[in-house]
Amino acid sequence: MSRLALTLVLISGLAFFSCQQKPPAPNPPTPVNLFTVKSEPVLYYDNYPATTQALSQVDLHAQVTGYITGIFFTEGTHVHKGQKLYIIDERLYKAAYDQAEANVKVAQGNQVQAQQDADRYQYLIQHNAVAKQTLDHAVIALQNSKSQTEAAQQAVKTAATNMTYSIITAPFDGTIGFSQVKLGNLVSVGTTVLNTVSTDNPMAVDFLINEAQLSHYQQLQREKQHQVDSLFTIVLPDHSTYSHTGQISVIDRAVDPQTGTIRVRLVFSNPRLDLRAGMSCVVRVHNLETTPQIVIPGRAIVEQMGEYFVYLAKDTVMHSTTDSTAGKATPPTDQKDGDSRKKSSSDSTAKQAPKLRALQVKVETGQTIGSNILIKSGLKEGDRIVVDGVQALHDGSPITTTANKQGPGQPGRGGR
């Protein structure tokens, strides 16, 4: 029995001391910096990847067969319409032209002879000096001679055209590329590409927009005068901004059903030939929205599973579980017990005082403007959000703006 009694005493003692242990202290509030949300006029650009394109581009092919005997341009330079670029050996075509002209003269001589015969037999038939059949044959011979003359004249035109095709000229003003043939190369009709010429001023810039933006760009295309002169600008591969602004030229006929996008073409003046076909650039479309919009620092935004959140700073009252005993009647005690009740009541009031807590709120983000981000929905003016210390927070975390240790380059405490 003594062992049983000793065991009971030990268990009772352990239970007594465990009841006397204090609950763990709550986590201290996290020091943060706050930002007060407000609406303000915003200047920004919508950016789209783009490519420069020539408004017209032509591959030069040979229309006659022969050897290249002359090249009369500098590769990569500007050429003018009608400028001589290549000569294909024209000796055969010149000889064919001369022969065709000679055939015309022969045909014309035969026609004169046939005309004289027809006139002579017409005179003789009036005096019954020849048979009617002889006159008929003379008239038919005259008609054949005229047809031969016409055929010979058409052969001259063909020979002249072939001789013209031996000289390759520029079809329009533009920039010519690298020559695909050299002196002495044999070229064939329709199969050999000699070079490529493309227009260079003005220059087109193509980019893709979402189908939801189509009505907006159609409206911009219909408007000849815009509120902003720099509505369309481009950023070149070296990150410089092109000095000329553009205008909408063409919106493609159909939306791509696979991507839900449609192509838009801008046209830019290119007097110094700074733009070349095939360049990668970025189209900047000036924001025409005049109403104030909400912009917050980008470091305040937290991304989770493709969605974006911010932490709102809210004054909240957190009730203690000991408050469940409130309202129960307690018997009167002596002065010391009365003082204890007063102290307990004061502690309960302190526990229910408002505390600053971080509440997670989902937002819809818009354009990035430097280090800031435009907010489309989820926030309103006057909201206070956490901009520094968000990595240490979760929904409902206690926070404080006092005694905040700031790192280099961080803004001051409190709202902006």
**φ, ψ at 360 (rounded to 5°):** -80, 130
Tokens of 163: 């001789």
> For residue 308, what are the β-bridge partners?
303, 363
In terms of residues, how long is the chain?
416
CB 370 within 8 A of CB 387: no
**φ, ψ at 176 (rounded to 5°):** -100, 145
Tokens of 406: 């700031």
E-strand stretches of 338-412:
355-369, 372-377, 384-388, 397-400
Give CA–CA dist 396/75, Å, rounded. 69
Residue with tokens 């341009």: 73
Query: What is the predicted pLDDT for the residue at 14?
Result: 61
Give CA–CA dist 265/221, Å, rounded. 11
Q: Is residue 9 classed as helix, strand or coil in its secondary structure?
A: helix
Domains (range + CATH), the chain: 26-44+291-320+349-416 (2.40.420.20), 51-55+198-286 (2.40.30.170), 90-165 (1.10.287.470)
Q: Is the entire prediction scored with pTM above 0.85? A: no
61 closest CA partner among 178, 175, 188, 160: 188
Query: What is the predicted pLDDT for the residue at 120?
Result: 83
Query: What is the predicted pLDDT for the residue at 129?
Result: 77
pLDDT tens for 84-135 read: 999 998 888 888 888 888 988 888 888 888 888 888 878 887 888 778 888 7
pLDDT tens for 321-374 read: 444 444 444 444 444 444 544 444 445 444 555 688 889 899 998 878 778 888
Q: For the chain, which residues score pLDDT lower than 70?
A: 1-26, 224-230, 288-290, 317-354, 403-416
